């Protein structure tokens, strides 16, 4: 059976913020931002930046990440 042309798809964008209570603490945190309904990627970007700006002065090693997942599928077709 031959394979169809590959179809590449991307999933929704995710934003994550990580940090620690202080420089010597093993206690850390991770926040995940998701968008719902008519939200846009730029709204997620803005919220990520706002939260990093808010948390960075209070907690240690605060960092924000934006991620995408992509995958490729190829369907099997019948032989002719």
pLDDT higher at 14 or 59: 59
How far CA 19 is from CA of 47, 61, 76, in Å, comes to: 16, 5, 45
**33-56 confidence digits (pLDDT tens):** 887 777 788 898 999 999 999 999
**6-39 confidence digits (pLDDT tens):** 777 666 788 999 999 999 999 999 999 887 777 7
Residue 7: its pLDDT value, please? Answer: 76
Output the pTM of the full model: 0.69
For the chain, which residues make up each domain, given as ranges?
10-71
How far CA 26 is from CA of 19, 22, 29, 54, 68, in Å, comes to: 10, 8, 10, 21, 28
């Amino acid at each position: 059976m031959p394979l169809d042309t590959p179809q590449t798809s991307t999933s929704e964008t995710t934003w994550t913020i990580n940090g620690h209570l202080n420089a010597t603490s093993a206690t850390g945190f991770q926040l995940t931002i998701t968008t719902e309904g008519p939200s846009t990627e730029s709204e997620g970007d803005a919220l990520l930046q706002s939260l990093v700006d808010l948390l960075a002065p209070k907690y240690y090693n605060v960092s924000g990440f934006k991620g995408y997942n992509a995958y490729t599928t190829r369907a099997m077709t019948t032989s002719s």
